[in-house]
Each structure stands twice: as structure tokens, then as C-alpha cells.
Structure 1
Amino acid sequence: MATVVSTAVGERTGPLDRLRALHAEGRLADAYDEVPGLLAELAAAGDPAGPPAPDLARAGQLLSRLDREEVLREHPGTETFTVAVTGHSTLNGLTAPLTAELARHSLLLKVHEGDYDSWRRDLHNTGSDVYTSGADLALCVLDAEIIFAELPHPWRVEDVQRATDGKLNLIRSLAERYVARGSGTLVLNTVPLLRSHQRRLVDARSRARLGVIWREFNAGLLRLAAVHERVHVVDLDPLVASCGPVNEPRLAAYAKVQFGEQLLAAYAREVGHLARALRGRTKKVLVVDLDNTLWDGILGDDGPDGIAAATTYRGEAFGRFQKAVAQIGSQGVLLAVCSKNDIEPVRNVLREHPDMALRETDFVQVTANWEPKDRNLLEIAQRLNLGVDSFVFADDSPFECGLVTRSLPGVAVVRLDEEPALHIERLLADGWFDVRELTSEDRARATQYRTEVARQDLMESADSMDEYLAELGVEVTLSPVRDHEIARVSQVTLRTNQFNLTTERLQQADVRALHESSDGLVLAIRSGDRFGDNGLVGAVLVSGVETDGGAESGWHIDNMLLSCRVFARGIEQACLSAVLAAARAAGAGAVYARYRPTAKNHRVRDLYPSMGFAETGESADGTVSFRHDLSDEQLPTPPAYVRLTADVGRRSS
């Protein structure tokens, strides 16, 4: 919903005008906290089935002129994100949309732009910005001229085969070099085949062979992401299909701009999704309205027989949307309903209506009442023990969308409209649920959250928390992570915010490196109870387990993390007691730990002191250091109601 901003002279302006006014007045850095909301309005104004709104790139041009240090002085909590850009063609047009897309997600961009056609040199030279800038992402933007510019004249299909084979081998070796020596994630892309290249062949058989060769080349690029954990490949084919021409021929010929503005904007949007996922900003819950959102019609007015999600012209569009929602839910996204309706008719429709592709059991929470929707969203978040900023809210009502946007700015609002054929495009346009890799725990998440209802019923029937925990029968296993669990541990570091002692985000390669190091331990926390298995719910990351001498010799707990759905069950105390006991058994002199405060992890501030750690100092950023000297005759023991199985290992300190 577009917000109207009044200027001093009473003019009505839109979000881009507001940004321009702030920039002209020199107040854009001071008002930077307004930027994500204004950019969200610009993004919502775009065609959901097409490229990002052009005004986003225009806003990015303003934002790219900001002094980053000034923004950080005015808003010290702003999270920065570093990107190194290299490629074959002229890529100056990427900076503005990339700045805007990252700012949409509250990330302040620091960009290092490479020279024209420098990609081979930059990826080979470990002294280039790609390696030395500390980039979170290294973007290597490839276009068709990396092949066709090197072909003989005239060329034949066989020449293209040799060129693509050689180029794929080169890219593969450069990717391996970056993975071995770089620090971030390398982003490659598939390469669009231009019609002007294909039509230089006059016979259909040769064109078909060229198509096969080109698709095999792109398939080889895509496979690099499956081989390397720190390589991501953006598939440009779907973007080209929605954006139109790959380039503008005159700019391509004279300025070497091989990708047009619309394609670069769509590419920047995909990079923004990836950056958000790398920083743990992936959304976890999709909350949907019902009337004119999941079905055609208004249940309260039309009755069950008057609504449709199949059998009618418009109803089929709603049915397709339901199937898309169900597809998302099958991959670990929690589904919930927030509707202004009476609850029993809603339940009857979700249970019995023949048109419904979604049933009541597909949702972890169905809320239907006449309370304000922002209040209902807060209650759903509390019931799921999740932050409301992990929610995406989809509704066809401008009023409801505006209410949630103003009241709960952390919620991603998907404004649907009267055209149900575009519901899917609007929901999927911003990749709110994108992750690097799907785990088995993701697929089981909805089932695990549904069992929370039974746990809450047990807690409400118990006379005390101790009685509830005793009847719950909590079982905990703490042991070194297994290879197939590394992706899940990485995901826990990326997505866990409340029980995260340092909020350090680790990619799979980082977890693997600590796991395989001579002095590191990655301990996976798995839990279950009488209602079922919760799977891998957390981790303890330990380093220095073989350290000798020095003022801080001993074991160092680099971080401890636990899923919010298993809070307050004694799991964290059980695991810490096991780590302390193992450290003393291994001869460690002490165990050290840190707590770095964030807006969301204040609940765990006193965890270490409660387990006998003494505070040893506090740094300028608020990070508190702790030490447990292991000298107590009686170390903390697991709570009596927790059955713990621990295999921490016995390494010498």
C-alpha cells in the first residue's frame, strides 16, 4: 500500500519523491531508517510478473551516493554487506539496483567494481578485490561474448563446442581457486543465448545442435553450485523470460553493455534474496487471509456454497494459488490463517469443502475472529514462539495490508489485489522463503510445530512447570555433528536469532572447517520427548580444545544456539553441563565463552552466569566475556527431568 507523504508546502508525494527530498536536503543519511519501508512501497508498485519497478533503480542511484560512514554514525546498528563485482561486459548499471535491493532488506552495500573484462584476472589473482575486500559475495557476471568473441570467423557449431568445453573447464578451475582462497560466496550465472547468435546459422539442424551445446554449457555451470558449498549460480533463463530482451543492441555494440537495465535489475533482486538468506533474514511463516485470497467470495456473505477455489473461471485461479501455498508449506515454511470470519464456518470449509487444495491440517494455526489483524499476528507469533519479523502476510485488503505495514514493520506484506491470476506472482516475487539448501528438518518443521499444540495442552493441564517438564520426558543427545548435518547446523546459525549467544552467521564451509580442524568441535544438539522427535535443534561450537599454555588456554565456546521451539526445557543447561564436564575430563584449565547482545537475544544474557561462569570483561560493542575455571568440586549437572546422552569427545587441552 503506497504511503502518501506530505511536504512542508502540502504537496502529496510518493516514496521516490520522499527519497529525493531527503537527498536534496542532505538528510538521507539521518533518515536512513525510513529507507527500507519506502523501497518496499516502490517494489510493491512493480509488475509482479515482470522486472522490478524502475523507480527502485532510481532510488538506488540516490542511495549509492550516500557516505556509508555517515549512515553508520547516524544509525550504528545498520548491518553492512560487501560485494565485489567482476565480469566480462560493462556493469556500471548494476550498482544502483543492487544498492536498492540490499537496502530493501536493511543491508548497507559496500561495493567494489572491477574493470571491464577483468573476470579471469580477478578470479585468478588472489590480490584482487574479489579476494582481498572481504566480500560477502563475489559476483562474476558472465555473458555470451565470453564464447562468441573468441570464435574464428566464420565459425561452425564444432567451434562453439570446443569453446564452451574450454570455458567451462576454465570457470570450474577458477571457482575451485576461489573456494580454496576466497572468503565469501562466489556468484556465477547461466549465459543467455541471443537470437542474433543463433540466427547466424541458416539451417535448422545446426541451430538445434547449437541449442543442445549451449544448454549443456549452462547445465555445467549450474552443477558447480551442487559441487561447491560456496558457489551460487543464478539461472538467468527465468529472468529473461519475465524481463524481455537481454540487452539493447546499440548499447551492446558501442558501450559493451551486454545486459540491459531490466535484466540487471532482476539479477540484483536475486542477489538481494541471496544476501538476505546469508544473513539469516529468511522468513519462516506465511500467514494468509481467506476471503478473496485463498478462495473466491466472502464466506460470511455467500456461505460455503457461494465460495470457489475450483469449478469456476475465477475459482480455478484461487485453486492454483492454494497449490502454490501448499508447495511452499511442503518445504518447511509454516502456514497460518488470519481471517476476519467466524471460526467454525472456516474450519468446516477447510475440512469439507470439495474445492480446497489446502486443508486445516496444512496450517499450524488457524485464527478466524473479528480482532485487528496486527493483534492476531502478534498472538500467532507468541503461540509459535517466533518473532513476528519472521512472518510474511498475504491479504487482498488494502486496509489490512496498510495496518500491518504501519503497526508491524518487520512483517513482509504481500499486497494481493482483485486479480487472482497474479496472486502467485505477487507471493513469489521477493523470494522471502529462499534458503541455500533444504534440509530434512525443514520438511518436518510443520509437523513438529503442530505437536506444539499437544505440548501446550499438557503444560496448561499441569499444576507447575516442573510437573509439566517431568511429564514431557525431554531427551537430549549432544555429539559431534555428522557430515549430513552440516547444512542444518549452518542453517541454525543463519536463522536463529533469539537463542544465539553471539549471532555469528556461518556458511556450510565455515562449519565444516571448524568440524575438521584439529582444535575445534561442532556439537549437534538433538532433542525429543513423549510427543515425538524434534530433530537437530541447536549446536555448540567450541575451539581451542587442544590449546597449550597462554593466558586463555582451555576450551572456548564460540557460540551456542538453540531453536526457539524448544526453549525453557532444560536442554541448554544439560548441554552446557556436558561441555564443562568433558573439558575438565580432558584436562582443560578453563572454559571461556562470550555473549554479544542483539535486539533479540536478551533472554539468554544470564545463561552463562547461571551455569557458574564468572564475567571477565565487556568490550566497546557490549560483548561480555566469561570464564569457568572448572575448579568447583561439583560442576553443574543436567536437570533431573532431562535424559542426556553426551559424546563430546576426549581431547587433551
Structure 2
Amino acid sequence: MKENRQKTLELALRDPFLVSHDTHSLQKLAKIFSKTNLSLEKLSTDKRVALCGGFMTKFLAEILPLFFLQRGISPTLYESEYGSFQQDIINKESELSSFNPELVVFFPTHRDLRFIPPTGASNSIVENCLGREIDFWMNLLKNIDAPTILFTFDPPLTRRLGEVDGLKPGGFLNYIRSVNTRLASDAPGHIKLIDTEQLCASVGETLWHDQRLYHMAKQPMSMDALPIIANSIAASASAILGKARKVLVLDLDNTLWGGIIGDDGLDGITLGPETSDGESFIEFQKYLKSLSERGIVLAVCSKNSKEIALQPFREHGAMVLQEADFPVFVANYKDKATNIRAIAKTLNVGLDTVVFADDSPVECALVRKQLPEVWVVELAGDPSEFIRCLDHFIPFPVASLTEEDFARSASYQSLNAVHSELQETTDIEGFLRDLKPVAILEYVRDDTVERMSQLIAKTNQFKLNPNTFSTSELRKKSSEVLAFRLKDRLQDYGIVSVIVTETDYDADALILRNWVMSCRVFSRRLEFLIREKISETAIEKGLSRLRLEYLQSGRNDLICDLLPALGFSESKMPNWFEADSISPKNLPPHFIALEEAPS
């Protein structure tokens, strides 16, 4: 019986549609988890998470760990007492401060607004109230240093100006929307907002609000709303902490179009405005295109000959997606689990970053069984529901969007071109030289700090240890941060490596608190140029040693082999490595020119 319960829990945590379970079922799973010995070492990253709400958060906190675990995060939760979040945040001696959270979830409601204008107030009065409101909340948020998920203020159940309450200056809903818009505009970089009004709309107002429950237990939203709230929190947390998925592998037949291209031919597939299904497939392709444009990598995995699979992309006038939108296009007759492994290897990503969408129950079952790390979405039935089906569980949450995100698909295309040429060439050094690579030393600026923080959080393979740094922390350490942009004759890859250092004059050492590098630039020898720059920085400070902490995660094993090549050897302290500040003389040539960006 116990083994069955544990199996049920494991299957639930691998299910991308955990959010579709009702709250009662989730509470049962939470109880199973509290009594199980489920091994989480490989499943998750430990994080201290503080939950501060303007309401009683007991029921939310009960199921929230399940959604964190589903996304690879094992939380230790702290809950603020009801009505005490303001004191908790401001008081540096509070239990919240002692807990030292690595992530804060802050969920006020419209009942917590401080300067609500009177009904029918003039524009000038509303603006005055709005200014005071924003000042209050921004001053409160300044007391939170950790990465923070902030819920915007929810819409009220009753509208004091009736159906125009959201449109007129004296309306309460209008005021709430104005506050939310200003918060979205003015919140510091380490604050990630969740659009509560959108959540409310997705649940439905009648299911969101529960006045009776609020009067009984001080929880204003219904129990039915909790799964969607918990899923939104965990999705945002995964984006902030670098655990979000970033690759969508797609089938073709009955997924991007209706019918089977190999059997039905180009004229026989369903795609285009002539039919409702054909129009639905167009809308689905537009949705997928929008994912690609914000940095989600699309790949094809189809049981077809490649020539036939490519025919709609090259010849069908209604196709929205083009061949160039897929950095990896696999069409053959191998099983899809094998092909997905190959796709992940080509993209240099882990299987736990992959979502697979297919219409075939058999193919979906095979991938679920053989690749449990992959999230599998069965797109069966009405194609008009495909977008809702995929988007419902928030597979690709956004913490921030940077230049590198918008250029990621093109970057992987260039990466594949480089890898293909590398495999064919016999003169690797000549090839690397001919790429004419240039590294640009970047500084912490308003236009770079988001990407630096994002890269440190999201990188898994070339990463010394789990230490992450919020945008506010990087600003404070700006003089100790080295970041590198890489470009070559193919493209500008953006900021691809960040090193956060610390000067320890007592130990005569420059400490590398963390060093990360994007998998997109592996094999480009950038790490050797960076080693030279680190040496130069240490010598300029008059330091003779370099020190770093390397913690194996199961994903960053390549560091183990690289450290000796960079001149590092194990020190007497466990997990710590040291090197002379002078670079080893036998570093391989990198052929990368170094430039410096404006500070």
C-alpha cells in the first residue's frame, strides 16, 4: 500500500497537468509526501521560500510544495502570520529575516491597499492617492533583497461604479489596475510580478472569490482557485531560479497540420482558413512562433522521411512556421525517445528542460516511460484546444526577457552550423580562427544586469556551484563582476559568461564566487580567454592566488575535467580549488580578440 502511494506521488510530480487536479486530491498527495521517503537529491534544488500573504495562507502552503517539486525545487517554507507581512518585511529582527529566504512570495490583495480614493473622485485626487500608494509599496519592497514573486492586486468582487468601475477614475477596479500598471513599470529587477487579474479571469470570478471562506478562515479566494495559484507561483519560481523548461519538441502530422503528409499529400492535409480545423492549426502555429520569438527553442521529431516532412514548410502557402524556426529537425523512423535524447544532446541541454507534444497516445506513453524527465503533452482531438492545452500548465514561464532570449533561436541555428563544420574539418584551429571571434567585456548596467542574473540562474552545465545573484546583488557587486559577450562572423551570441568575484586581501586571493557559461558557446575556447582575464584582474589587485568552490550537481561534470586545464588543483578544504593567479603557459590558443564595452 505504501509503495502504491509513493508511486502515485512520483507519477503526479512528473505530470505537467498537476494543476488540473482538484484541491482535495492535491491535499491527499501533500499528506502522502509528508509521510514518504521519496528521494529528492536528483529531483530538486533546495531553497528557502517565504510566503507572505495578505490573507491566511495555510491551505495554499499545504499544496504549494508539490508544485515546486514538480518543477525541480524542494522548498523549505516559512509563512508570515496573518496580518503581519508588513512588520515581517520591515523588521530586520523578525522571524522572516532570521529565516533568510532565498525566494519570497508576496501575495497582498485589494484589501491591503492603503490610499483608496473615494467613489467618484476627480483625476487629481486619484493621482494623488495613486502616488502615495506606489510610494508605500515601493518603500516596502525595498526591504526585500531576495528574488521576489509579487502578485498584483486582485479585482474586487463588487464594483462600486457598476459596469464602468474599471473605466472611470473614481472606480475601485480602475484604481487597482492603475496601481498594478505602475508596479509593473517601477518594480526593481529582482521583483517578478504575477498578473492576478489574468489568473482570476482564467478561473472565473465566481470561482475566484469566496466570501464565506474569507469570513470563516480569512482566505478570500476559493479552494478551487488554489491549484492555479500554486502552479503560477512554482512556474515563476522556476523561471527565477533557472529551472524553467526551454525546448519544445513537436510532432508534425495532426499536430502542426491535420492529416498525414506521407499519405494525404500536400493538397490533402488540413491547414488554412478554408475550414475551422485548418484555421485552428494556423493559430496554433502562430502561438508556437511567438514562443520561438521569445527564446523557446522549437525542434521537430517526426516519424517520416525528412524530404516528405519538409514538404509543407517549403511548398504549402498557409504554413506560419518555417524550416528556419527549428534549430533541430529530426525526421526518421527511429523511436521518439531515442530521437529526443539526440535532440537534447545536439542542443546541449538536459532532458529536464524539454517538453514534448504529439497527437499519438502510443508515442506519448513511450516517451513518458523511457524519458520521465521530459514533460509529455498529448495533443489529441480538437486543434482549437491545442493552445489552451499547452499554455494551461505554464510550461515556459518568463522571469525577464533579454536580447539574448529574442535571438536564441537564431543562435542555435548558428551553433548547429559551427558544430557541423567542426565535425567535418581536420583543421580545428584554422576553423576557429576563421570564425573571427570577438569577446566583449561587459559591465553591470541597466541594459545588461537582467541577462547576467538570468544566465547565472539558468545555466546548469558550466556552473561552479548553486550560488545565484539577483539584479540588486549584482548592482552592489558591480566592480567585482566580469561578463563576456561573444560574436563572430555568424552572429552576436549576446552575454554568454558571467564571473562574480570577491577580493580577499587577507588570503591574498581573488575568489570566484561563481562562474557560468552558456552551453551555446562550448567548444569555442572562450573559457581560456576568460582565464587570462581573471589572471589579469587578480594581478592588478596585487593578489597571487585564485580560489573557487566547485560543487558537483550531476549536471556540471565537465567542470571537473576543465579545472586542471585552467591550472586549478584541489585545496585542503573540501570542494575548494586553488590556482596561481598567473595563467598556465600551456593554455590552448583561442583566437578570440578582446574588446571592452562602455561602463
- Label 1:211 to 1:158 Cα distance change in 2 as closer, same or farther (>3 A): closer
Paired position in structure 1 for 2:579: 628
CA pair 92-160 structure 1, distance change in 2 beyond 3 A: farther
Q: Distance in 1 between matches of 2:16 and 2:528?
A: 47
What is the Cα deviation at residue 288 of structure 1?
0.7
Judged with a 3 Å threshold, the aligned counterparts in structure 2 of structure 1 residues 321 and 179 are, in CA distance, closer, same or farther, namely same
* Inter-CA distance 173–291: structure 2 relative to 1 (3 Å threshold): same
**Aligned AA (1:230):** H
Moved over 4 A (4+): 74-78, 159-168, 203-208, 210-213, 646-649
Question: Is 2:417 aligned against 1:459?
Answer: no
Aligned-pair CA distance for 1:617 = 2.7
> Is residue 299 from structure 1 mapped to residue 261 from structure 2 by the alignment?
yes
**For residue 537 of structure 1, what is the aligned residue in structure 2?**
496
Contact kept in structure 2, 1:578 and 1:648, CA below 8 Å:
no
User: What displacement does 1:341 show?
Assistant: 1.4
* 2:30 paired residue number: 61
Given candidates 322, 338, 360, the residue that maps to 2:301 is 338
Matched, 1:506 2:480: no
Structure 1 stretch 351-360 or stretch 467-476: which is displaced more? 467-476
Q: Distance in 2 between matches of 1:232 and 1:574?
A: 34
1: distance between equivalents of 2:30 and 2:348? 39
The answer on 1:235 being equivalent to 2:177 is no
Aligned to 1:39: 13
Residue of structure 2 in register with 1:372 after alignment:
335
Determine the C-alpha separation between the residues in 2 that align with 1:55 and 1:484. Answer: 45
1:284 is matched with: 246
Give the % identical residues. 28
Structure 1 residues 142 and 586, CA, compared in 2 at 3 Å: closer, same or farther? closer
Query: How far does residue 423 in structure 1 lie from its aligned partner after superposition?
Result: 0.6
Sort the Cα spacing of 1:440 and 1:586 in 2 relative to 1 into closer, same or farther, 3 A. Answer: same
1:306 alignment partner, SS class: coil
Secondary structure of the residue aligned to 2:267 is helix
Q: Distance in 2 between matches of 1:63 and 1:500?
A: 34
Q: How does 1:172-571 map to 2 (within 5 A)?
A: 172-194=135-157, 197-198=158-159, 209=168, 212-227=171-186, 228-244=188-204, 245=206, 246-310=208-272, 311-515=274-478, 520-544=479-503, 547-548=504-505, 550=506, 552-571=507-526
Q: For residues 166 and 373 of structure 2, what CA distance do their matches in structure 1 show?
A: 50
CA distance 1:506–1:135, shift in 2 (3 Å): same
In structure 2, relative to structure 1, the CA distance for the partners of 1:237 and 1:615 (3 Å cut) is same
CA–CA distance in structure 1, aligned partners of residues 462 and 97 of structure 2: 33
The CA deviation at 1:409 is 1.7
Q: In the alignment, what sits opposite 1:131?
A: 97
CA distance in 2, matches of 1:513, 1:317: 49
Consecutive unaligned residues of structure 1, counting only runs of 5 or more, are 1-6, 8-17, 23-27, 47-51
When residues 257 and 342 of structure 1 are mapped into structure 2, their CA distance, relative to the original with a 3 A threshold, is same
The answer to whether the Cα contact below 8 Å between 2:133 and 2:179 also exists between their aligned partners in 1 is no
- d(CA) in 1 for partners of 2:170 and 2:318? 42
- State how far apart, in whole Å, the 2-side matches of 1:204 and 1:462 are: 69
How far the C-alpha of 1:439 sits from its partner, in A, is 0.5
Q: What's the C-alpha RMSD, in Å, of the aligned pairs?
A: 3.1
The answer on whether the counterparts of 1:638 and 1:644 sit within 8 Å (CA) in structure 2 is no
Q: Do residues 603 (structure 1) and 565 (structure 2) align?
A: no
CA distance in structure 2 between the aligned counterparts of 1:319 and 1:614, rounded to whole angstroms: 56
Verify the 8 A CA contact 2:305 2:332 in the aligned structure 1: yes
For 1:12, the equivalent position in structure 2 comes to none
Provide Cα deviations, 1:227-250, integer angstroms capped at 9, x if missing partner: 311223221222222212222232
TM, length-normalised to structure 2: 0.90
The count of aligned residue pairs is: 594
Q: Give how far 1:527 is off.
A: 1.7
Task: State the one-letter code of the partner of 2:194.
Answer: V
Aligned mates of 1:205, 1:537 — CA distance in 2: 49
Q: Which one of 582, 586, 589 corresponds to residue 640 of structure 1? A: 589
Native 8 Å contact 1:525 1:537 kept in 2? yes
Answer yes or no: is the 8 Å Cα contact 1:478–1:525 preserved in 2. Answer: yes
Higher relative contact order (CA 8 A, sep 6+): 2
Amino acid at match of 2:578: R
Q: Could you state the TM-score of these two structures normalised by the residue count of structure 1?
A: 0.83
Distance 1:341 1:371 in 2: 9
1:92 and 2:58 matched: yes
Change (3 A) 1:406 1:505: farther
Is 2:358–2:378's contact at 8 Å kept on the other side of the alignment? Answer: yes
Tell me if the contact between 1:492 and 1:561 (Cα under 8 Å) persists in the aligned partners: yes
Aligned-partner Cα distance in 1 for 2:485–2:192:
29
Distance apart, 1:534 and its partner CA: 2.0
8 Å CA contact retained: 2:249, 2:300? yes
- 1:565, 1:151 → 2: CA distance? 50
Q: Which amino acid aligns with 1:591?
A: L
Deviations 1:120-161 (Å, cap 9, x if unpaired)? 33333333344332223333333333359x989xx7444999
- Residue from 564, 567, 575 that aligns with 1:612: 567
- Mark the runs of 5 or more structure 2 residues left unpaired by the alignment: none
Using the alignment, how far apart are the partners of 1:570 and 1:294 within structure 2? 39
**Aligned-pair CA distance for 1:54:** 3.6
Letter aligned with residue 192 of structure 2: H
Distance 1:211 1:485, change over 3 A: same
